[in-house]
Structure 1
Amino acid sequence: MSQARDLVAPQPRTHEVRNQARPCSGYNAFTGDVVLREQVARHAPWCAERAAAVGALAGDPDVQEAAHLANAHEPELRLFDRYGHRLDWVDFHPAWHELMGLAFGHGVHSLAWTAKRDGQAGGHFARAVLSHLWNQVENGVGCPTGMAYAAAAGFSDRPEFALWHDRTIAADYDPRRLPLADKRAAVIGYAMTEKQGGSDLRQTQTIGRFAGTEDGARIYELTGHKWFFSVPTSDGFYTLARTESGISCFLVARVLPDGSLNRVFLQRLKDKCGNRSNASSEVEFEGTRAMLVGEEGRGIAEILSHAHLTRLDFAIGSAGLMRQALTLALNHAGSRNGFGQVMSELPMQANVLADLALESEAATLAALRVARATDAMETDDGERLFARTATPVMKFWNCQRAAAFVYEAVQVHGGNGFIMENPVARLYREAPLNSIWEGTSNMMCMDVLRALRREEGALEAFMAEVSAPGTADEAHGRFLDELNDDLGARANDEGNARSIVTRMALALQAAEMLRHSPETVAGRYIDSRLCGRHAGVIGTLANGPDLADIVARAAVA
């Protein structure tokens, strides 16, 4: 044996490890969250047990380790086997499959649809609660759960997709590469974006040619490409192609009914800033078999009919991501000393934590209000019109605020927060993505203006909601009067869109705080956000003894 191997390194005795934050584990993200718990008790008490089960996952050290591993060991593209045969597959770390099994097994993707099937009211609200909680577990898996949630809407009431619907809403996860009929459950993806078009789906170049009819479904062959194709191991995915009648919507199965692989050719995986556990790819179609969904030439309208649900999910998911960042920040500041005090008791830090707590509560309440409106869309025209505007409003605002929110949570952690072993660093890389998926911030603001222009009664429904009796204090009332005047005068002015939609979001959040939060908490939100004193900077609340109470309200029990 060499001399180097015989040497034994001395053991350092330079210091002892102390004054590090305690591990943020052992809590329940539902039962410990007073805002979420009260909302469920008020609007869907039947889902409390389900919510507690998912909430327990967020604080489980083993599940937290699985989330770390799924992001540390990223998906690997396998184009060929060792003999040169094409595989067009992606290998995920076992932790990814474990997390997928937990999310799908708990119905995070499907509760809205199974609740409707079982005659339970408030399914979209209850499903939103689960999504809020799951986004405190692992955000990459939130992509396939959200896509499955929306996909089920496209399958509903279409007999040719009955099996797809049943497998999609199953509370199970089956990663095997098999025909749909041989699987216990299905994962569904979406692939619309092309290189030349980006968000403009009218620029779709992929061509679809009619090939016949099978079992009641119209079959086409697709030729073209897609620039973003998330979860490429999905059993099926929605896509768009140009046909004789215009852009049409299709469902592509990865494995055909006879067991052969469809002609879906992966090109590469995206090297993304965040969302590292999830695989996003580029794909080419060449004679790829696909089933027409809806009417030929109505593909964009079909996809947009699903987009309400995915946009709602991103508003909810961003609120959940913020809540996790807040939990991490509260844990760190509450268990580490600085300058002779517990960090959370330092006046400036206490201000930051209280401000984060206000932002998180408002984001959660407003997103859940949109989920409740979604439940009533089929039976209440006022709720439908409110949801039509409020969904893009809250998708814009919660996703916009998430990045700034997590940045402040990293600041609470100091240098420790910038190390990838710390989950708050993962959230920092994740937070900007939700504002891009399913429509960028500018697209959401354009969609709000479109609704105000084209949907008769949409403006009135939104203003009625945010100014309902019992919601407006004096400052909120003045804010609403000015907003109403500006909406009437500038609703067609795209240059003011972000300003208008921001104020709509603040109005809705303030209304929900006035309805559901303690008076002092709602008052703090309105004083800071609506009275021109906040300037969007966290930690700029007027100092006062009630800040400690706001922080205590946000702590998970």
Structure 2
Amino acid sequence: MHDRAPRSRLATHSVDNQPLPPRDRDLLALDRPLREALAREAPAWVTRRLAPLGTAVGSREFQALGEEANRHSPELRQFDRYGRRLDEVSYHPAYHQLMHLAFDHGWHTVAWEEEQRGGHQAHVAALYLLTQAEPGFCCPVTMTHAAVPALRHEPNVYKAWCSRLQAWDYDPRAVPAWEKPAVTLGMAMTEKQGGSDVRANTTQAVRDEGGYRLTGHKWFCSAPMSDAFLTLAQTDDGLGCFLVPRFAPDGERNAIELQRLKDKCGNRANASAEIEYCGAWAEAIGSPDRGIANILEMVQQTRLDAATAPAGMMRQALLEAWLHVRERHAFGRRLAEQPLMRRVIADLALEAEASLALAMRTARAYDTPHVPHELALARLLPALAKYWHNKRGPGFMAEAMECLGGIGYVEETPLARLYREAPVNSIWEGSGNVICLDVLRILGRHPECIDAFRAELATARGHSNHYDQSLAQLDTLLHRPKDEIEANARWLTQRMAQCLQAAILLRHAPEAVAQTFCRSRLGHDASPVYGVLPFNAPLDAILSRIVP
């Protein structure tokens, strides 16, 4: 990449009143809310370890790699030139370089290397930063990380795979796992007829010498070039969880046929496939009648990542919009000085900071399971954060895109890519209705979760009238009949997430941020449209936090 500036004087005109070309940025140093959240929630080593990553993901090199990986989608290679099955996916070199950035520095395994010592906070903060290089490649990072708790249910399987799962390396070769220093894991659960209702799965698992043979179809398989997949299949004892490697124990390619790659709205750098198990060899993970419970160990981890990714995308979009409006002039002054634009950007900044704060607070709960209060929060908070952050994401990206005007809508800026990407984390690992019903399930089965949640909210009581009134509303709904609560599960989940965001901000953020958040999200005049803030909102104080 050359450093020479492009020509600004063209044949018929000069290029002026445009932001400067992109430059290297340190995305950790620029992000005051992230640095404050790390100082508050995580041990000091986490920030030190993240420092090189913040520099890398903000560099022109890795920003360009993200664009290239998204522009050149993966391609399916079903057969070799002679007609033998390959069932491989070919990725652009930029994708592999991004994978090296994550895996060669251990961000897929830091949560388990430093378990209960800040590891989950390090993982979540790293994912938040990695997302700002390119969200799609983070999918295999997340799944490789998240597979560990599920595999622990089968000690022999975990022992065979753990060293390669924890290796700081990325090896893209399609060879048996025992020939590689490091591996990645994927997931294949969904089937056509069932969707989120995995109990309706029809894939069959039959005992075979040393394992099982799986036969059936999976409608979505994430990261199909992974070295193994966690999957669900029916056994004589019920729905079981299985690990299906790409290569069978005899070294031959396992009978996993890639039928096609999905042509997705976004998430272009990452491949998603339909696959067919044609008697594929697999190993059981845990009891054959506990498949859902075992796979949920993985889903609980992926949901936190699916709640964190939109926070990272919000931050990237916010930074892009703010740097643009500070340099662009219209109607005689900078866009950043225009009253309406200032309100829009300030409102986006509030949302981004609140989302990050909730993601980091949830990560701390994951890292302290020995404390009953934190264990209860760890059961509940991922669902709240996943639902609400993703509901706010698409509108956020659209508003940030609008701040740039026409050039925000073209693929040369990251905002079009972020807008296409925004819905995906809301859909996978449980779409909106599924997540809201899961919140009700958690509250019903684990009453200690609502006690912990109320205790967490009580720490900020008395700091905002709007906040206190929202707590009373929440308490009223939680005492309504069960069928009425279910019908209003979306409102309940939204308000629980917003109240928890507000509680964190009231306790830890500057008053200008916390009070404006409460007034604009919990007050009587709350609007679903970004940019509608109280008339006397302290915009200068809010905007000053976007960049130092």
* TM-score, length-scaled by structure 1: 0.94
Return the match for 2:315 from 297, 318, 323.
323
Letter in 1 for 2:73: E
**8 Å CA contact retained: 2:411, 2:417:** yes
**8 Å CA contact retained: 1:108, 1:134:** no
1:354 aligns with 346
After TM superposition, give the deviation of residue 221 of structure 1 in Å.
0.3
Instruction: Give per-residue Cα distances to partners, 1:149-194, cap 9 Å, x unaligned.
Output: 1111122361332131221122210111121121111010000000
After TM superposition, give the deviation of residue 316 of structure 1 in Å.
1.1
1:229 aligns with 221
**8 Å CA contact retained: 1:472, 1:511:** no
Name the CA distance, whole Å, in 2 between partners of 1:163 and 1:243: 24
Instruction: Give per-residue Cα distances to partners, 1:215-251, cap 9 Å, x unaligned.
Output: xxxx100000100011111000101110000110000
Return the match for 2:284 from 292, 295, 298.
292
1:435 maps to 2:426: yes
2:148 aligns with 152
**8 Å CA contact retained: 1:319, 1:398:** yes
| Partner secondary structure for residue 554 of structure 1 | coil
1:424 aligns with 415
Instruction: Give per-residue Cα distances to partners, 1:100-151, cap 9 Å, x unaligned.
Output: 11011222211101113xxx71211121111111111110111111111111
Q: Which moved more, 1:537-546 or 1:123-132?
A: 537-546
| Partner secondary structure for residue 457 of structure 1 | helix
Name the CA distance, whole Å, in 1 between partners of 2:463 and 2:294: 38
| Partner secondary structure for residue 29 of structure 2 | coil
1:142 maps to 2:138: yes
**8 Å CA contact retained: 2:461, 2:467:** no
Letter in 2 for 1:410: M
Instruction: Give per-residue Cα distances to partners, 1:276-319, cap 9 Å, x unaligned.
Output: 01111110011100010111111111111221111011111111
Letter in 2 for 1:317: A
1:206 maps to 2:203: yes
1:15 maps to 2:7: no
Q: Which moved more, 1:535-544 or 1:281-290?
A: 535-544
Q: Which moved more, 1:254-263 or 1:463-472?
A: 463-472
After TM superposition, give the deviation of residue 472 of structure 1 in Å.
4.0
Name stretches of at least 5 consecutive residues in structure 1 with no aligned partner: 1-10, 214-218
Alpha carbons of 1:520 and 1:84: their partners in 2 closer, same or farther (altered >3 Å)? same
Name the CA distance, whole Å, in 2 between partners of 1:192 and 1:306: 12
The alignment covers a number of residue pairs equal to: 537
Name the CA distance, whole Å, in 1 between partners of 2:68 and 2:447: 50
Aligned alpha-carbon RMSD (Å): 1.5
Name the CA distance, whole Å, in 2 between partners of 1:204 and 1:470: 46
| Partner secondary structure for residue 376 of structure 1 | coil
2:253 aligns with 261
Return the match for 2:453 from 462, 465, 469.
462
| Partner secondary structure for residue 480 of structure 2 | helix
Name the CA distance, whole Å, in 2 between partners of 1:55 and 1:25: 14
Name the CA distance, whole Å, in 2 between partners of 1:531 and 1:188: 45
2:440 aligns with 449
Alpha carbons of 1:99 and 1:447: their partners in 2 closer, same or farther (altered >3 Å)? same
Alpha carbons of 1:295 and 1:507: their partners in 2 closer, same or farther (altered >3 Å)? same
Q: Please give the residue correspondences for 1:306-321 in structure 2 after superposition, counting only pairs within 5 Å.
A: 306-321=298-313
**8 Å CA contact retained: 2:46, 2:118:** no
Letter in 1 for 2:35: R
Q: Please give the residue correspondences for 1:68-83 in structure 2 after superposition, counting only pairs within 5 Å.
A: 68-83=67-82
Name the CA distance, whole Å, in 2 between partners of 1:337 and 1:301: 56
1:26 aligns with 24
| Partner secondary structure for residue 139 of structure 1 | coil
**8 Å CA contact retained: 1:449, 1:491:** no
Letter in 1 for 2:43: A
1:395 aligns with 386
| Partner secondary structure for residue 545 of structure 2 | helix
2:274 aligns with 282
**8 Å CA contact retained: 1:24, 1:331:** no
Name the CA distance, whole Å, in 2 between partners of 1:272 and 1:316: 21
**8 Å CA contact retained: 1:490, 1:496:** no
Name the CA distance, whole Å, in 2 between partners of 1:488 and 1:380: 27
Q: Which moved more, 1:259-268 or 1:474-483?
A: 474-483
**8 Å CA contact retained: 2:466, 2:518:** yes
1:194 maps to 2:185: no
Name the CA distance, whole Å, in 1 between partners of 2:463 and 2:201: 46
Letter in 2 for 1:163: A
Q: Please give the residue correspondences for 1:404-419 in structure 2 after superposition, counting only pairs within 5 Å.
A: 404-419=395-410
Return the match for 1:511 from 486, 503, 516.
503
User: Sequence identity of aligned pairs in percent?
Assistant: 45
Name the CA distance, whole Å, in 1 between partners of 2:461 and 2:407: 44
Q: Which moved more, 1:335-344 or 1:191-200?
A: 335-344
Name the CA distance, whole Å, in 2 between partners of 1:206 and 1:288: 11
Letter in 1 for 2:166: I
Name the CA distance, whole Å, in 1 between partners of 2:335 and 2:528: 23
* TM-score, length-scaled by structure 2: 0.95
